[in-house]
Structure 1
Amino acid sequence: MRMIRKLVANRKAATAIEYGLIAALIAVAAIAAMRGLGSSLNTTFSNVSSNMQPS
């Protein structure tokens, strides 16, 4: 518990924790964006593939 109090009291540690949280939020946003983009690309490539097959 003392270690946590020291980290909170230390400004450099608090700044590092804040940067870590910001990086985590950016990562979550990037993952969400990539999932949506991946789904869209999958649909596009499926359409192209089905149109390229001989009838």
Structure 2
Amino acid sequence: MFKIAKQYIQNESGVTAVEYAILGVAMSIIVLAALNQNSDLHEALKTAFVTIQTNINNAGS
């Protein structure tokens, strides 16, 4: 009985999956926070894409 319990405690195969899940959730929260409508990053990206679009449109004229 103790041998089975010891093997169960030492088994770390499921730990990696849990760690990856935690990292995935953390990364998702960071990305969502960064791309929030009120963030500076959102405004910077929006401005950059408008500038690129304007430059492309002006180049084609």
Normalising to structure 2: TM-score of the pair?
0.48
Deviations, residues 1-55 of structure 1 (Å, cap 9, x unaligned):
xxxxxxxxxxxxxxx0232134222xx2332211110111111111100111523
Q: CA RMSD in A?
A: 1.7
Structure showing greater Rg:
2
- Count, aligned residues: 38
Flag structure 1 segments of 5+ consecutive residues without an equivalent.
1-15
Runs of 5+ consecutive residues of structure 2 not aligned to the other structure: 44-61
TM-score with structure 1 setting the length: 0.51
Q: Write the mapping of 1:37-48 to structure 2, written as runs, cut at 5 A.
A: 37-48=21-32
